[in-house]
Amino acid sequence: MAQLILKPGKDRAMARRHPWIYDSAVARLEGRARPGDTVTVLSDSGKVLGKAAWSPESKIRARMWSFDPEAVIDHAFFKRAVAASVARRQRHPGLARQDGVRLIHGESDGLPGVVVDRFGAVVVMQLTSAGADKWRDAIVNALVQATGCEAVYERSDSDVRGREGLEPVTGCVHGALPDALTIVENGIRMEVDVVGGHKTGFYLDQRDNRLMTRELASGRKVLNCFCYTGGFSLQALAGGAASVLSIDSSGPALSTAERNLALNPSLDAGRAAWQEADVFSALRELRDAGERFDMIILDPPKFAPSAAHAERAARAYKDINLLGFRLLNPGGLLMTYSCSGGIGVELFQKIIAGAAADAGVDGRIVHRLSAAADHPVGLSVPEGEYLKGLCCEVP
Ligand code: SAH
């Protein structure tokens, strides 16, 4: 097995158990390794620090599979790691009863580059690192064993694969997909398009926040921006919202949203309106038309994939949030999110504070929001905390 030797002092990150080894930390590779091969990681003084996957094309040159110097990375390793991750969800009462649950959340579950969501009997897997890609068969077998699922569908079509020198891979890798796939999330039935939907087909990370929307929506006139397939909209209706206007730029997402509404006949469809539009201009049109709302949800796509995009992203967040504050009735709630890894919690709060100040309102934070429990954040991997949200009330 090839040996990756770190530069002097670069074993400090290892002591913090951070799983990434950047190219700048690598002194040399002794021996030969192909992309995804397991390498032994050593400090410059020759101390064995663990085992990692070699990613020669990436700035993150290696990702730790284990900090145990004795660890063997083989089929049994993945069987144990996958089973443990699945068992953690089963032990959590709030997650065990869910149809849709993230089973593996990458680095934070000890499996760098591996993301797995379960939707009923279907498991969707996304591999984004050379190491994860190499162990595809082991991971699939382990998933089938740990879950007893009927199908595993691979959605390894994320852009980040390019940075690892990997081509997109999609398709069924076990069993066959059912004709139509739906899940029930906190009482609401939702279609999941694992083939054509965003990411793995559905945004499980917002589950708890959609439930909170339901709890706060009663009697309110709601505006849901970036609604995708209507998750927040339908929970707001279930919570007794007076009306819900939902906006998204994707026609197919809105069609799914309307089908989702039809899948839930207990909801009053007469209270829902859908608009295909760019949110940035739609908010201005609503402002110019003198419209006002009692609850506004802003859940935009990732404006800042990394810190390098933070400044431009900050302007975009400020823009929509400023308009959001202006469109609120007295006592209104702004439920605002960022899923940008490049925008930290503190910076996000600063942006929202700036938006409120420019809108001339004294907002206050009533809830701090984050991803659900099946998206844990490893204490050694703070980068895992990508989703942050604030529920702000205005006077
Ligand atoms: N809140 C959703 C997830 C939102 S994902 C849920 O709970 O499931 C972000 C959505 O923003 C996507 O559906 C995408 O189509 C939409 N989108 C991206 N840019 C947009 C824009 N400028 N205007 C309107 N919608 C946009």
308-332 pLDDT, tens digit each? 888 999 999 999 999 999 999 999 9
Question: 231: Cβ below 6 Å to ligand 1?
Answer: yes
Q: Would you state the pLDDT for residue 304? A: 84
Question: Is the model's pLDDT at 211 over the cut of 90?
Answer: yes
Reference 229, options 255, 263, 195; nearest CA is 255
Query: Which of the residues 149, 225, 227, 339 is marked catalytic?
Result: 339
Tell me how far the alpha carbon of residue 275 lies from the centroid of ligand 1, in angstroms.
Answer: 12
Residue 214, pLDDT above cutoff 90? yes
The CA 256 to ligand 1 mean position distance, Å, reads: 13
CB of 226 sitting under 6 A from ligand 1: yes
Is the confidence at residue 349, as pLDDT, over 90?
yes
Q: Is 276 in the pocket of ligand 1 (CB under 6 A)?
A: no
Three-state secondary structure string covering 21-56: EEHHHEEEEECCCCCCCEEEEECCCCCEEEEEEECC
pTM of the model: 0.97
Q: Is the distance from the beta carbon of residue 301 to the nearest atom of ligand 1 less than 6 Å? A: yes
248 CA → ligand 1 middle, Å: 6
Confidence at 302, pLDDT banded by 50, 70, 90: very high
Cα-Cα end-to-end distance for the chain: 64
Burial classification of residue 312, based on how many CB atoms lie within 10 Å of its CB (0-12 exposed, 13-18 middle, 19 or more buried): exposed
CA distance 189 to 191: 7
Nearest-atom number in ligand 1 for the CA of 297 is 1
Contact 314, 342 (CB under 8 A): no
Length of the chain: 395
Residue whose C-alpha is closest to residue 228's, from 187, 196, 268:
196
Active site residue 339: yes
Ligand 1 within 6 A of CB of 185: no
Average pLDDT over residues 127-134: 98
